[in-house]
Amino acid sequence: MSLPSFEEPMRLALAEAVRAGRRGEVPVGAVVLGPDGAVLAAAGNEREAAADPTAHAEIVALRGAARALGEWRLSGCTLVVTLEPCTMCAGAAVLARVARIVYGAVDEKAGAAGSLWDVVRDRRLNHRPEVLLGVLAGDCSAVLADFFADRRR
């Protein structure tokens, strides 16, 4: 898939992020695409609602995709997320064997797919997904900036 072809799934992830923000969650959204490009799962952050520190959008979406496929190995799948994954989510993507991670906004404070850390391309690991960044980055950043600006008011 070429980079522009990820704009539509990123828009789905953005819609999940906006819904999460309306629920009082940090507005991050994720979508998992199957090897054929079909949406297997979509989710927004659920940490507050679930009282679960692991309920990041990526984790929830990866779990949904695994249920949809009936297995934990997500070989050939793509994780599309509005914000660069943290170490937990990057590690989960590696362990799930996703083929690629596509993200919008860079997370300079906690990103683990190239900015602060680069967990997903660590040569010591047995799987290294392809990483594409910057898809609708402005839109993804704006959703987060607006959410936190509203919180400060």
Judge whether 89 is annotated as a binding position.
yes
Say whether 130 is catalytic: no
Active-site annotation holder among 25, 58, 71, 130: 58
- Phi, psi at residue 53, to the nearest 5°? -65, -15
Strand order in the sheet with 39-44: 39-44, 29-33, 78-83, 100-105, 130-133
Q: Which pair of structure tokens corresponds to residue 23? A: 């629920």
Among 65, 144, 69, which Cα is nearest to 109's?
A: 144
To the question of whether residue 77 is assigned a binding role by annotation, the answer is no
Crossing angle between the packed helical segments 57-69 and 7-22, to the nearest 10 degrees: 120
Give the three-class secondary structure for 149.
helix
3-state secondary structure at position 49: helix
Residue stretches of the annotated binding site for Zn(2+): 56, 86, 89
The residues annotated as belonging to the active site are 58
Residue stretches of the annotated binding site: 56, 86, 89
